[in-house]
């Protein structure tokens, strides 16, 4: 009788341990990746009625979901201002940032980046018939950029006059309303804006605007998460999944 009780106790203990172990793999158990983004950047992140993660949709959101799924982890999106993302990451409020974020030397000083998953470039958006045909033509004109975006850095380094706004759509409204002459922003987002606003065109200038690479940022030294993210990105790239998402969200 004693032996049987002991056996039952052992089995119960084993079952408990097993349950505890298995439940670690379940979603929402402290085993969730909290991604920060700024959902003002279609086709990478935007709000929609049927998002991939709650109301959040776009290429980056699908990538974030895939990373979490690969490790059977939950996923949560914090939508904050672009300018505040890396600070929130450093403060530990976020586990990672996925926001069409370009890898720059300056940003690399404060966070670690994954391998890149997308190549982009800055472009100029103007009204049809504009005399602006290249980046040099922005000289003496007023350009709108988004605060904290690499587009702002580019125009400021070129030394041309510009105004900064919080959102890309505000820049586009300035242009449509004739309050500025051009908008400088990332290529895929520019495509989205011109398809939504007839009468706007894109000017490319590859001699002036270099290629930029988008990657996911983690807190400096968080190699555990970085390795997971890199493995997932490598897999998605080799399976052509990111190109597929590009087709889906850019409608190419
Ligand atoms: N690629 C640009 C940058 O890194 C713009 C990114 C904007 N992203 C966003 N989710 N609002 O500065």
CA angle at residue 126 from 125 to 128, to 5 degrees? 130
CA angle at residue 210 from 204 to 215, to 5 degrees? 115
Nearest atom in ligand 1 to 99's CA: 10
Q: Is the pTM of this model over 0.85?
A: yes
Cα 18 to middle of ligand 1, angstroms: 43
| pLDDT for residue 23 is more than 90 | no
Judge whether 215 and 115 are in contact, CB under 8 Å.
yes
| pLDDT, averaged across the chain | 91
Say what the pLDDT of residue 66 is.
98
Give the mean model confidence (pLDDT) for residues 86-90: 98
The alpha carbon of residue 155 and the mean position of all alpha carbons in its chain are separated, in whole angstroms, by 22
Residue 209 beta carbon below 6 angstroms from any ligand 1 atom: no
Give the mean model confidence (pLDDT) for residues 81-85: 96
| pLDDT for residue 101 is more than 80 | yes
pLDDT in tens, 109-152: 999 999 999 999 999 999 999 999 999 999 999 999 999 999 99
Judge whether 94 and 85 are in contact, CB under 8 Å.
yes
Give the mean model confidence (pLDDT) for residues 39-65: 97
Question: CA 50 to CA 25: how far, in whole Å?
Answer: 26
- Check residues 10 and 143 and name the one with the higher pLDDT: 143
Residue 187 beta carbon below 6 angstroms from any ligand 1 atom: no
Q: Grade residue 1 by pLDDT with cuts at 50, 70 and 90.
A: very low
Give the mean model confidence (pLDDT) for residues 86-111: 98
Residue 99 beta carbon below 6 angstroms from any ligand 1 atom: yes
Q: Grade residue 22 by pLDDT with cuts at 50, 70 and 90.
A: very low
Residue 82 beta carbon below 6 angstroms from any ligand 1 atom: yes
Give the mean model confidence (pLDDT) for residues 214-221: 98
| pLDDT for residue 39 is more than 70 | yes
Domains of the chain from N-terminus onward: 8-117+215-250 (3.40.190.10), 120-203 (3.40.190.10)
Structure tokens at 181: 């002459």
Residue 150 beta carbon below 6 angstroms from any ligand 1 atom: yes
Bridge partners (DSSP) of residue 144 are 163, 183
Q: Grade residue 251 by pLDDT with cuts at 50, 70 and 90.
A: confident
Three-state SS annotation for the chain: CHHHHHHHHHHHHHHHHHHHHHHHCCCCCCCEEEEEECCCECCCEEECCCCCECCEECHHHHHHHHHHHHCCCEEEEEECCHHHHHHHHHCCCCCEECCCCECCHHHHCCEEECCCCEEEEEEEEEECCCCCCCHHHHCCCCEEEECCCHHHHHHHHHCCCEEEECCHHHHHHHHHCCCCCEEEEEHHHHHHHHHHCCCEEEECCCCCCCEEEECCEEECCCHHHHHHHHHHHHHHHHCCHHHHHHHHHHCC
Structure tokens at 234: 């490598």
- CB-based burial of residue 102 (10 Å sphere; 0-12 exposed, 13-18 middle, 19+ buried)? buried
| pLDDT for residue 19 is more than 70 | no
Cα 200 to middle of ligand 1, angstroms: 21
Give the mean model confidence (pLDDT) for residues 98-118: 98
- Ligand 1 binding pocket mutation candidate from 120, 122, 148, 149 (most atoms within 8 A of CB): 149
Read off φ and ψ for residue 146, nearest 5 degrees.
-95, 135
Structure tokens at 33: 């990746």
User: How many CB atoms lie under 10 A from the CB of residue 197?
Assistant: 15
Say what the pLDDT of residue 24 is.
39
Cα 84 to middle of ligand 1, angstroms: 12
Interhelix angle 223-238/59-70, nearest 10 degrees: 110
């Amino acid at each position: 009788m004693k032996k049987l009780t002991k056996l039952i106790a052992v089995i119960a203990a084993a079952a408990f341990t097993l349950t505890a172990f298995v439940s670690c793999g379940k979603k929402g158990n402290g085993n969730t990746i909290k991604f920060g983004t700024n959902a003002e950047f279609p086709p990478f992140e935007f709000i929609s009625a049927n998002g991939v993660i709650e109301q959040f949709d776009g290429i980056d959101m699908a990538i974030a979901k895939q990373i979490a799924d690969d490790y059977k982890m939950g996923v949560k999106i914090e939508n904050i201002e672009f300018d505040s993302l890396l600070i929130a990451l450093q403060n530990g409020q976020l586990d990672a940032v996925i926001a069409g974020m370009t890898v720059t030397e300056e940003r690399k000083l404060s966070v670690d980046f994954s391998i890149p998953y997308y190549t982009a470039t800055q472009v100029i958006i103007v009204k049809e018939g504009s005399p602006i045909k290249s980046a040099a033509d922005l000289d003496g004109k007023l350009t709108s950029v988004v605060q904290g975006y690499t587009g702002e850095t580019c125009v400021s380094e070129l030394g041309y006059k510009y105004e900064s706004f919080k959102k890309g759509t505000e820049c586009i409204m300035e242009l449509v309303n004739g309050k500025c002459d051009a908008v400088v922003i990332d290529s895929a987002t520019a495509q989205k804006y011109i398809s939504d606003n007839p009468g706007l065109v894109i000017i490319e200038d590859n001699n002036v605007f270099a290629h930029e690479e988008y990657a996911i940022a983690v807190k400096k030294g968080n190699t555990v998460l970085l390795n997971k993210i890199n493995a997932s990105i490598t897999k998605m790239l080799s399976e052509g999944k990111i190109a597929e998402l590009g087709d889906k969200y850019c409608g190419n």
